[in-house]
């Protein structure tokens, strides 16, 4: 079954391909509050629309968490690895 939540959202098949390419989450510390898929949707929304970071819809998680994750992955080279993986 394919689940599409809105225009531009990842389909389940796309998420299945993308998820293994993402950097592994830390196994120590506090458990995540926001599912990675939702945060990824926030990153994709911002890149797709070019909107200011504070305009990321709340259903994608807090705007600052979305932007922090994107910046960290850019610095670590994860974004480039995902694109070429």
Q: What is the pTM of this model?
A: 0.80
Query: How many structural domains comprise the chain?
Result: 1
Does any domain span residue 6?
no
Does any domain span residue 47?
yes
On whether the CB atoms of residues 82 and 17 are closer than 8 A, the answer is: no
**Long-range contacts: 33-36, Cβ < 8 Å, 24+?**
34/61, 34/62, 34/65
Residue 47 tokens read as 């890149």
Which burial class, exposed, middle or buried, applies to 70 when counting CB atoms under 10 A from its CB (0-12, 13-18, 19+)?
Answer: buried
Does any domain span residue 38?
yes
Say how far apart CA 33 and CA 6 lie, in whole Å: 22
Question: pLDDT of 3-38, one tens digit each?
Answer: 445 566 889 999 999 999 888 877 788 888 889 999
Does any domain span residue 49?
yes
Does any domain span residue 61?
yes
Average pLDDT of the segment spanning 41-63: 92
Note down the domain range covering 78: 33-84
């Amino acid at each position: 079954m394919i689940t599409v939540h809105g225009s531009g959202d990842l389909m389940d098949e796309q998420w299945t391909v993308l998820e293994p390419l993402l950097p592994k989450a830390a196994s120590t510390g506090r458990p995540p509050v926001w599912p990675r898929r939702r945060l990824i949707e926030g990153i994709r929304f911002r890149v797709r629309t070019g909107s200011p970071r504070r305009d990321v819809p709340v259903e994608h998680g807090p705007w600052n968490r979305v932007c922090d994750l994107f910046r960290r992955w850019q610095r670590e080279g994860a974004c480039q690895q995902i694109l070429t993986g």
